[in-house]
Structure 1
Amino acid sequence: MKQGGEQGVRIGLSAVVIALRERQAVVLTTHAADGAAALPFGPFDPARDRTFELALRAFVTEQTGFPLGFVEQLYTFGDAGRAAPRATPGPDQKREVSVGYLALTLDAAEGQTHDSR
């Protein structure tokens, strides 16, 4: 039940995934809808996902093709208006909370990519 001024919360999880390629650390990216490189990102659904980490592991593997090893939560962003700073708050606007992670995965084969589109 929503109470005075409470608009709901949408939780997103993102990861900087580090892999090794020819003994060099690389950051794995996915392709956004517009074709730009993006970090793996997915929503947390409390009705479906038991924990943030399990949700993160599932969608990062789906988006990159790589299973995660070590995972560490780095920071949580939740300032009001962060997702759309110029937007006018309305009664249906949800607060955006993003949880950032650092994750490690196995060696990335040279030239191997994974298109999540």
Structure 2
Amino acid sequence: VVDVAHEHGALVKVIFENDYITDDQIKVKLCQLCEKAGAEYVKTSTGFGFVKQPSGDYNYAGATLADIQLMRATCSDKVQVKAAGGVRTYEDAVRMRDAGAARLGASATETIVTGEASSQEGY
């Protein structure tokens, strides 16, 4: 897939859905495999990977600082890390950037840019 994408000038982004991956060693292995395959990006989630929470509600964590730090530490500079899901405020965006995210996936772009308080719960 990566070779064909590159032959046609496309970049490759691999989405992990980290909410479903509870073992950090699996995330590390995924990062290593993506880099070896030649992917340009690894991404935490789609933002739609709803998981049953201890409260019984279905929600998602999306990008977490721990996951961004782990993915950034595992991948070389050839692979960018994209944080997606749960980035709802300017402060969230800055924390993700500082943790190593090169790109953000967010549905609260206006809130992030203006710095307004977010009342958004997911998408």
TM-score computed with the length of structure 1 as normaliser: 0.26
TM-score computed with the length of structure 2 as normaliser: 0.25
Structure number with higher relative contact order (C-alpha < 8 Å, ≥ 6 residues apart): 1
